[in-house]
Amino acid sequence: MMQALKSVRHLTSSTMKQAVSELCLPVPWGEIKGKVWGPDHGRPVLCLHGWADNCGTFNTLIPLLPKECRYVAVDLAGHGLSSHRPPGVFYSFPLYVADIRTVVDALQWSKFSIIGHSMGGNVAGMFSALYPEMVDAVVLLDSYGFLPTDPKEMPQVIRQGIDEMLQFEKKSKDKKERVYTFEKAVERLLAANPTLSEDSVKILLERGLVQVEGGVVFSRDFRINLKNIVRISLEQSLEMQSRIQASVLVVLAEEGFEKIFAEPDQKKFTSALLQVYRDKNHTVVTVPGDHHIHLNNPEVVAPLVSDFLQTRVLSQSARQTEEQISKL
């Protein structure tokens, strides 16, 4: 453990005025990188970004959240500045959960909170179900915590994912990386993500591009675009969900997943998950905005997240400390 901890390097960033540092953690296939905000001994909060994004997705939100917390936002494997998985290895939620366990073990966090956006929320949901004793609070930003698949569709989906990987590996042997100017890279990401503002795109590209001869290339592993072959059903999702002990805040965007998953077959899955959160007295709120509301307009989301962290994490921690002192 101490050896792992020594290999966590904090590198001073160019935004020291915001007290932000870089995190670099060795893993068997390379490095997991990220950013850190807040005091060394602040209440630990892990921040997990969405699919094809990176930890820059929290750049505008975290400065608006309680200053007593220590926020560690990581680039998930294959995203941002973190290493890609080895050849032949698929990207899946259980592997991301294993990565997160590696990160928190190196940080020596035994109890922490998680803020997860989109796919990061699904990783947060699975982690909180598998390691319920480690997570005290979960914020799901335009995420349901789980993404169920109809069992009848699974054979086709799994086959498609395997076939896509095989085709990708064949083509990648001869395929050259496409080099862009920064302006063209901005254009491409804007076109692919209509919910992002231009400012948000530029924030994500701080970690989403790598300088090469003649311009820049996208840093993410394009294998993340392939069909995910590890799926769980609604029944399995609900079983996982039942094991979460943490307090949960679900913040949905009106123009986000609530609109994307509007088909009756999809709605029955998401409605079932949301109903369980409500039945267990967790908080589910809907805000105006789109899927990246937390990055585009963080002031809409920040008060909800701040109040949740204040009441469910910081206040309870303060009470526990007072109780311990009174027993001395």
Three-state DSSP string of the chain: CHHHHHCCEEEECCCHHHCEEEEEEEECCEEEEEEEECCCCCEEEEEECCCCCCHHHHCCCHHHCCCCEEEEEECCCCCCCCCCCCCCCCCCHHHHHHHHHHHHHHHCCCCEEEEEECHHHHHHHHHHHHCHHHEEEEEEECCCCCCCCCHHHHHHHHHHHHHHHHHHHHHHCCCCCCCECHHHHHHHHHHHCCCCCHHHHHHHHHHHEEEECCEEEECCCHHHHCCCCCCCCHHHHHHHHHCCCCEEEEEEEEECHHHHCCCHHHHHHHHHHHHHHHHCCCEEEEEEEECCHHHHCHHHHHHHHHHHHHHHHHHHHHHHHHHHHHHC
Residue with tokens 């709605």: 267
Active-site residue 118, yes or no? yes
Report how far residue 312's alpha carbon sits from residue 212's, in angstroms, rounded to the nearest whole number.
Answer: 46
Q: How far is CA 111 from CA 182, 203, 222, in A?
A: 40, 30, 33
Q: 82, 113, 118, 237: which is the annotated catalytic residue?
A: 118
For residue 135, how many other CB atoms are within 10 A of its CB?
A: 24
Catalytic residues: 118
